Amino acid sequence: MSDPRVISLEKIKVACQNCSLASFCLPLGLKQGDIEKLDQIVKRSRPIQRGEGLFHIGEPFQNIYAVKTGSFKTFIQTEDGGEQVLGFHLPGELIGLDAILDNRHGCSAKALETSSICKIPFNQLEVLSTQLPSLQHQIFRLMSNEISKDTNMLMLLGNRSADERLATFLLSLSRRLAQRGFSATEFNLSMSRHDIASYLGLAVETVSRLFTRMQQDGLLKVDRKFVRLLDMERLDALCEKNPHCHGKQLLP
Amino acid sequence: MSDPRVISLEKIKVACQNCSLASFCLPLGLKQGDIEKLDQIVKRSRPIQRGEGLFHIGEPFQNIYAVKTGSFKTFIQTEDGGEQVLGFHLPGELIGLDAILDNRHGCSAKALETSSICKIPFNQLEVLSTQLPSLQHQIFRLMSNEISKDTNMLMLLGNRSADERLATFLLSLSRRLAQRGFSATEFNLSMSRHDIASYLGLAVETVSRLFTRMQQDGLLKVDRKFVRLLDMERLDALCEKNPHCHGKQLLP
DNA sequence: GACCGCACTTGATCCAGGTCAATATTACGT
DNA sequence: ACGTAATATTGACCTGGATCAAGTGCGGTC
């Protein structure tokens, strides 16, 4: 119908009503009419290039962000010039929830690839959520999820070996991608080895060695950014062998 | 006036209005009348003995808890019989916020000493907070605080040495106790060495050795559970030397 | 297509902190 | 007061993963 060379503005302006991520994101649990009200305060932005920042630590807090496409990392700069990566954010996940308390961002966020985002002015969201109990409930749920995600991460960093950490990380990505309709066994890592290492509390060299060793062991195949998980069984075993989490999985 | 041998029921039934913790806890920012409404859904409990559990991982989520006196730890049992400690909770801090998402507790909580708590049915709190915007706001703030607390912990576990971790932990305790009107330099550790080690991702032996080494270095004095911080300067230096957090301090 | 720069890999070495084992100290029940 | 169990300290040793130091290969530029 339309010329495929022309970028459709419709695609950028997808409303919450039609968004495929609605079932992970703020609209979950809302009635049709309520989604429309939410939709009116959401600002959809032009694409964000790889490496471009979303907000910087210390900046005043105005908006929370929902990833629409692509991926982001949140991080804190260390004084020696390094970065501590705090999290990776896939479509449907919210960024900025840690800033409510002191009205200032507690970390920085930047795009790992060309991405797009929905921007939601938090004070408007707060007002709206007093009017829509199910919206309030969903915000509570998402914040609660953020908290349990972090505590899982604590478990990971607190008492797991390097290979267990990497396996857990890969399976977490796999699961989140699968939820969003992508392949659970083949995907591209949008983040660098450095980012992965920092996130998992390891050295880059260790991550690199682990990838090659896991490949030798037939657990996976890795080529640059591209990963194919071959033996989910044994990868799972690496993750589950430790904590007795009553069916909980580590990492979101 | 009253017989001192008789335990005053008044003391147990302190209402939010008179509670000294109101400035950390849910009532912060509420008008007098609104505090009274909050007060009506809060259930105050009999004292809880050391070692007694508050809730157990996997149990259905009904209430959130605010520590009134004493202290608690939250933790997850590992299958080898050990525990991973997720956090310590002082008066005015909330427990259970991670359970909202899947309506089940994601960790267990138990008292570290004889303690008392306020129990708040979460669904009633949710209803009330749609009516009281400032209550909703305070819940958002407290949850946000929980998130940034955890991300700070990630930084700590991700890239800090053992002595930096212990120093950070001690100063965090010190600051939180001072906020609550206790001494910043002298206090009792209600948790065991084991708990501290688990929380900081270290071995018990390491924690023990660190205490003695820090004592030799004149940083502090430790006798069993009792700690006196002697050289705040150098303890601070141990914490701040690493991350460039724009004035943020690690740990709550 | 040749040069450059950066991300990644691989190898060699080292050490912080874990593990194992032997006391020491305290808390607690009888 | 005593015995037992839990908790904490101390010492000796070992190892996982950090650090240091070369390579290697890919993507971008002119």
Report the C-alpha gap between A43 and B32 in whole angstroms: 37
pLDDT (0 to 100) of residue A174: 95
Q: What is the pLDDT of residue B242?
A: 45
Q: Is A163 exposed, middle or buried (0-12, 13-18, 19+ CB in 10 A)?
A: middle
pLDDT band (50, 70, 90) for residue B18 = confident
Query: Final residue of a domain: which of B120, B145, B170?
Result: B145
Between CA A250 and CA A172 the distance in angstroms is: 8
pLDDT at B59 over 50: yes
Residues of chain B contacting A130 with CB distance shorter than 8 Å: 130, 133, 136
Which segment, A13-22, B170-179, B233-242, is predicted with the most confidence on average?
A: B170-179
- Residue pair B94/B65 in contact (Cβ under 8 Å)? The answer is yes
Q: What is the percent of chain B with per-residue pLDDT over 70, rounded to a whole number?
A: 90
pLDDT beyond 50 at B185: yes
Report how far residue B74's alpha carbon sits from residue B209's, in angstroms, rounded to the nearest whole number: 25
Whether B137 contacts chain A with CB within 8 A: yes
Q: Are residues A37 and A115 both part of a single domain?
A: yes
The answer to whether the Cβ–Cβ distance between B154 and A86 falls below 8 Å is: yes
Could you tell me if B59 lies within 8 Å of chain A, comparing CB atoms?
A: no
Structural domain contains residue B210: yes
- Which H or E element spans position B54? strand B53-55
A132 and A164 share a domain? no
CA A100/CA A109 separation, integer angstroms: 16
Question: Are residues A199 and A94 part of one domain?
Answer: no
Domain that holds residue A235: 160-240
Mark which residues 203-232 of B lie under 8 Å from A by CB. Answer: none
Q: According to the model, what pLDDT value does residue A45 have?
A: 83
Mean pLDDT for all residues in chain B: 88
- B110: domain CATH number is 2.60.120.10
Which residues from A are below 8 Å from B77, CB to CB?
Answer: 243-244
B212: in domain: yes
Q: How far apart are CA B33 and CA B132, in angstroms?
A: 11
pLDDT of residue B3: 54
**Contacts with A86 from chain B: Cβ below 8 Å:** 151, 154-155
B208 touches strand D (CB under 7 A): yes
User: Tell me, what's the pLDDT at A158?
Assistant: 87
- Is the pLDDT assigned to residue B12 strictly greater than 80? no
- Whether residue B248 is contained in a domain is answered as no
pLDDT in the model for residue B194? 95
CA–C1' gap, B194 and D7, in angstroms: 9
B192: domain CATH number? 1.10.10.10
Same domain, B180 and B71: no
Closest by CA position to A94, among listed A141, A40, A48: A141
Residues B71 and B182 placed together within one structural domain of the fold: no
- Say how many C-beta atoms besides its own lie within 10 A of residue B16's C-beta: 22
Percent of chain B with pLDDT over 90: 73
Nucleotides of C under 7 A from a protein CB: 7-12, 16-21, 26-27
**Local structure of residue A46 (DSSP, 8 states):** -
Do A78 and A106 fall into the same domain?
Answer: yes
pLDDT beneath 50: ranges in chain A:
1, 10-11, 242-251
Q: Which of B118, B145, B172 is the last residue of a domain?
A: B145
B112 in any annotated domain: yes
Q: What pairing do the DSSP bridges indicate for beta strands A116-121 and A94-95?
A: unpaired
pLDDT digits (tens, 9 = 90+) for A100-134: 998 999 999 999 999 999 999 999 999 999 999 99
Domain match, B14 and B129 both: yes
What pLDDT, on the 0 to 100 scale, is given for residue B195?
95
Q: Which whole number is the average pLDDT over B98-108?
A: 92
Residues A141 and A164 in one domain: no
| A223 and A105 within one domain | no
Instruction: Choose among B85, B40, B51, B88: nearest CA to B67.
Output: B88
Q: Is residue B39 part of a domain?
A: yes
- Do residues A107 and A183 share a domain? no
Instruction: Please tell me whether residues B138 and B173 are part of one structural domain.
Output: no
DSSP character for B230? Answer: -
Counting the structural domains of chain B, the total is 2
A230 touches strand C (CB under 7 A): no
Please check whether residue A111 lies inside any domain of the structure. Answer: yes
CA–CA dist A50, A144 (Å, integer): 29
Contacts of B244 in chain A (CB under 8 A): 76-79
Residue B11's H or E segment, with its range, is helix B9-12
What tokens appear for A119 in the block?
């921007």
**pLDDT score of B240:** 72
Q: Nearest by CB to A140, which of B58, B77, B100?
A: B100
Of A146, A180, A213, the residue at which a domain comes to its end is A146
Is some CB atom of chain A closer than 8 A to the CB atom of B242? yes
Q: What is the pLDDT of residue B241?
A: 59
Q: How many CA atoms lie within 13 A of A49 on its CB side?
A: 2
Encoded tokens for B134: 């400032």
Interface test with A, best of B151, B152, B241 (most A CBs within 10 A): B151
pLDDT of residue A243: 37
Q: Is the pLDDT of residue B64 over 50?
A: yes
In a domain, B251, yes or no: no
* A132 and A181 part of one domain: no
Q: Do B101 and A141 touch (CB under 8 A)?
A: yes
User: Considering the domain boundaries, does residue B59 fall inside one?
Assistant: yes
